[in-house]
């Protein structure tokens, strides 16, 4: 009887931990729009562990390119052309600040801030 109670408690804890960790991750959505701010939200603060998905809701193709892609530094992400109605998803980014822009329309700029959860 005591063992059964312990087992139920253990299973409950495992189940709870599973639910909590599921809540701790997910997908953060950024919309590509026309006109400004082009990327909405323009500054996205995202807890570490979330995927980030950019959805193109405009009638033309856009890219999502980390600013460092055109310097000597590490190019952390570059979507290439994202067609109208399509999306681009990043599965993982280290905590930090990542300014990015659209290579096809450099006026389009955004920032992703990855924070510790
Ligand atoms: Cu663009």
Sketch the domain layout of the chain as residue ranges.
26-115
Ligand 1 centroid – CA 102 distance (Å): 5
Q: Radius of gyration (Cα) for the chain, nearest Å?
A: 19
With a cut of 50, say whether residue 92 has pLDDT above it: yes
Q: How far is the CA of 98 from the centre of ligand 1 (A)?
A: 17
The residue whose two tokens read 């990043």 is: 90
Instruction: Quote the ligand 1 centre to 105 CA distance (angstroms).
Output: 4
Ligand 1 center to residue 27 CA distance, Å? Answer: 22
pLDDT of amino acid 73: 87
Report the pLDDT value the prediction gives residue 1, as an integer from 0 to 100.
53
Contact between residue 49 and residue 114 where contact means Cβ atoms under 8 Å apart: no
Strands, DSSP E only, in the chain?
A: 27-32, 39-40, 43-47, 51-56, 65-66, 87-90, 96-101, 109-115
pLDDT digits over 42-79, tens only? 999 999 999 999 999 999 999 999 999 988 889 999 99
CATH class of 26-115: mainly beta
**CA–centroid distance, residue 44 to ligand 1 (Å):** 18
| pLDDT at residue 117, as a whole number | 82
Looking at 2-6, 12-16, 39-43, 97-101, which range is the least confident one? 12-16
Distance in Å, CA 56 to ligand 1 centroid = 9
Letter string b/e over residues 38-77, b meaning 16 or more CB atoms within 10 A of that residue's CB: bbeeeebebeeebebebbbebeebbbbbbebbeeeeeebb
- What is the predicted pLDDT for the residue at 22? 44
pLDDT tens digits along 17-49: 444 444 457 999 999 999 999 999 999 999 999
């Amino acid at each position: 009887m005591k063992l059964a109670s312990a087992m139920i408690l253990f299973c409950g804890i495992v189940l709870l931990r599973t639910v909590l960790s599921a809540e701790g991750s997910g997908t953060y959505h950024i919309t590509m729009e026309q006109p400004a701010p082009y990327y909405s939200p323009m500054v996205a603060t995202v807890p570490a562990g979330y995927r980030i998905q950019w959805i193109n809701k405009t009638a033309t193709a856009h890219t999502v390119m980390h600013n460092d892609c055109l310097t000597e530094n590490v190019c952390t992400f570059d979507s290439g052309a994202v067609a109208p109605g399509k999306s681009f998803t990043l599965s993982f980014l280290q905590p930090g600040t990542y300014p990015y822009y659209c290579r096809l329309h450099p006026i389009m700029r955004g920032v992703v801030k990855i924070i510790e959860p």
